[in-house]
Amino acid sequence: MGIIEKLRLDNKKAFVTGGARGIGYNITLALAEAGADVAIVDMDESTAKTSAEEIAKQTGKKIIAVKADVTKKADVDAMIDSVLKAFGRIDVAFCNAGIALNVPAEEMTLEDWNKVININLTGVFLTAQAAGKVMIKQGGGSIINTASMSAHIVNVPQPQCSYNASKAGVIQLTKSLAVEWALKNVRVNSISPGYIGTDLIMNSPLLKPLIEKWCAQSPLHRLGKPEELQAIAVYLAGDASAFTTGSDFGIDGAFTCI
């Protein structure tokens, strides 16, 4: 089989958390364009439904919307049941839902801290654990977690210690699961995007004014586009990456080089 054929995801069944918009939307679109049926898993049910309809129309694949809060184990378990009911199996789990909170460390309440850790780290664990159980039974699968360049550097000037800590946790969780599940044929990798122009940044009154500063700091002098994460998603999801597990892929326009 040639490499382009190996990159195809025909007959694969996937889900993407936080898939209603932004990076997750673009990843869902990419997996579907490569041939997979995909479930968009999101707290925001109405946007998830609209996005699923759009992507189904564009790609001709089966795209469903499943409402779930990744911090709630009961929601995650029910989501897995819905995906299995619709698709029969789960080959690809993209654990991507995440939020950022910008609060100086000395002012951060325990509630603020827990909110970010619960979604960004515990949510990834609950989702990967539930998908991993299915994949182990099936004989294999690929789990991809969205970390961040913030796992590797401390962004400035905005204060975001809980976000940075949560994303560093995602990378070490990814490596731990990759080692535990290596012989069960379940691969686990992460991606670490740099600044990407999604709602997370564009709709934040605090972050939007900082874009100029970040672009000045960045060797490429621009934000990334969500579609610039699509190729790595397709690579990691499918058989082309059979020897790739426990790795983190930085896609940040060389931001972390300086």
Q: Is 148 an annotated catalytic residue?
A: yes
Place of tokens 């995650």: 76
142, 148, 162, 241: the active-site residue: 148
| Options 9, 18, 214, 230; binder of ligand NAD; rule CB under 6 A | 18
The first and second tokens of residue 147, run together, are 């970390």
49, 67, 162, 163: the active-site residue: 163
- By beta-carbon proximity to ligand NAD, the closer residue of 11 and 203 is 203
Q: Does 71 bind ligand NAD (CB under 6 A)?
A: yes
Distance CA 110, CA 15 (A): 31
Q: Does 17 bind ligand NAD (CB under 6 A)?
A: yes
Sheet holding 37-42, edge to edge: 63-67, 37-42, 13-17, 92-95, 141-146, 186-193, 248-251
Distance CA 179, CA 176 (A): 5
Q: Is 195 an annotated catalytic residue?
A: no
Residue 138 near residue 89 (C-beta atoms within 8 A) = yes
Site string for ligand NAD, 125-164 (x = CB under 6 A): ---------------------x-x----------------
- By beta-carbon proximity to ligand NAD, the closer residue of 162 and 241 is 162
Distance CA 79, CA 85 (A): 10
Q: Is 162 an annotated catalytic residue?
A: no
Q: Does 168 bind ligand NAD (CB under 6 A)?
A: no
Q: Which residues are catalytic?
A: 148, 163, 167
